[in-house]
Structure 1
Amino acid sequence: MPLLILAFFVTALLYASVGFGGGSTYTALLALSGLDYRILPLLALSCNIVVVAGSTTRFARAGVTPWRSAGLLTALAAPAALVGGLTPISETLFLTILGISLLFAGAALLLKPSVSSTAPAKAARFMPLFAIPLGYLAGLVGIGGGIFLAPILHLVRWNSAKAVAATASLFILVNSMFGLVGQTIKGGTGRIAVAIDLGLPLLLAVAIGGQIGSFLALKYLPQSWIRLGTAALTIWVGARLLLMM
């Protein structure tokens, strides 16, 4: 357990420093520890909420959240996240989707936003279509979906970097809440009790790690270094998960 707590702390520190929650990696770390896969989304989504709640509030107070467009993406994704949380899934399929998602997420973190133009690309108008499948995936395997959404928003020059980060935080927060509701309804009270017993020290670890990550990103560490470290962690965990099967 101490190693798992440390891993959650480091994951929250890295992900919070680049504006994400870390739900995909929390889920994978729990899977590698041998826990029942049906409990993993409950813990991972709860940790997601703890990490991104603070960043969502900070973005809102700073006035950088594009509420109309971000609200549309989030409103489309949230019901899909609830349905994803309610969807029964086998352990093999769950771990396969999670492992592949982590590899794609790690690759997405390595993508650099286009700087050739500040005008939105034509594909930007189709972003609401991406929100629904990302929301469903978020609820299904216990992630927020923002780690996929943000690179796409950058690539199509959807908005400024700060607006994209604010949108991703809101997207992750709401999707995690709706996905958690779906997972809770599907799992019943028995799994909730187990998740609570295991989750308190993990929630504390990510709360502290998330705050430190945000502080370091603002004051000391270059974003490029943090992004590379987060991508390396994500790809390594995803590869280990797939090789374990």
Structure 2
Amino acid sequence: MMAMQHSELLIFFLVISFVYASVGFGGGSSYLAVLALYAFPFKELRLIALICNIIVVTGGVYIYVKSDQVNWKKVIPFVLLSIPMAYLGAVMRISEDTFFIILGCSLIIAAVLLWIKTNAARASNIQKVQKNVFLKNGILGGSIGFLSGIVGIGGGIFLSPVLNLMKWDISKTIAATASVFILVNSVSGIAGQLTALPANINHTRIILLCLAVFIGGQAGSRLAIKFNPVVIRRVTAVLVFCAGVEVLFKHVPSFL
């Protein structure tokens, strides 16, 4: 039974990493959704999700940087505050029920954002780099970074739709920004979690899951998905939403 569960997890993580990497995300919210359904310890599942995020988005960030699609002047305001805030979120000591309630709500929000079809700006009306925009983007990045640190995700699944709604830039630049954002927040979140990791972590399981997302992420970063991306996003949104509802259903009564 345990071997079957491990096989299922590997397949889930492979598919999730492939789909998310193809659109510039790490897949942290879906990793958490799957791990929560398998009743993983909440400290371990956050660590796994962040490590997998790093593995998946590193390849994407490399490709975006190499093709000169990262606008560092516009990225820096987001990450300047998100890095320390993600660390603070990760070091916060919260109860297991509180964590799962925050996770459940975050999964539902992520599902809604996945479902909504947003359009990026055109090159003619993108947001200019100004002082007031710098501050606004910094606050937005810090807020998402803090939530990401608590939950154990990179935050790109929240940042990308918001930037599209703001008509912040063209779609490729937003995808590149989200990838960088996920990468730095995931590293910062892991740094925070290293301050209080449980002693009984299953390292072999983590290595196998990392291998699965490495394969899926590399393939997703390089291959174009032949199916309609909107359909894929919405199917994923339904699954994430159901996982969020189930997490809340299990843990809200205990919290109350």
When the two structures are superposed, what TM-score results if normalisation uses the length of structure 2? 0.87
- Offset at 1:88? 0.6
- Work out whether residues 22 and 225 of structure 2, in 8 Å CA contact, stay in contact via their aligned partners in 1: no
Of residues 139, 161, 170, the one that matches 2:149 is 139
| Paired residues for 1:1-245 under 5 Å | 1-114=6-119, 119-120=125-126, 125=133, 126-187=136-197, 190=199, 194-216=201-223, 218=224, 220-245=226-251
Distance 1:90 1:120 in 2: 42
Cα RMSD after superposing both structures: 2.0
Distance 1:64 1:229 in 2: 28
Report the structure number with the largest CA radius of gyration.
2
- Cα-to-partner distance string for 1:50-95 (whole Å, 9 max, x where unaligned): 0000001100011111111112211210010111111111111111
Aligned-pair identity in percent equals: 40
- Offset at 1:195? 4.5
- Work out whether residues 92 and 150 of structure 2, in 8 Å CA contact, stay in contact via their aligned partners in 1: yes
Gaps of 5+ in 1: none
When the two structures are superposed, what TM-score results if normalisation uses the length of structure 1? 0.90
Gaps of 5+ in 2: 1-5, 252-256
Inter-CA distance 237–68: structure 2 relative to 1 (3 Å threshold):
same
Distance 2:92 2:202 in 1: 19
Inter-CA distance 170–121: structure 2 relative to 1 (3 Å threshold):
closer
- Work out whether residues 82 and 136 of structure 1, in 8 Å CA contact, stay in contact via their aligned partners in 2: yes
Distance 2:120 2:188 in 1: 34
Inter-CA distance 233–185: structure 2 relative to 1 (3 Å threshold):
same
Aligned partner of 2:187: which letter?
A: M
- Offset at 1:120? 4.2
Inter-CA distance 115–129: structure 2 relative to 1 (3 Å threshold):
closer
Inter-CA distance 116–39: structure 2 relative to 1 (3 Å threshold):
closer
Secondary structure, counterpart of 1:159 in structure 2:
coil
Aligned partner of 2:146: which letter?
A: Y
Distance 1:20 1:238 in 2: 19
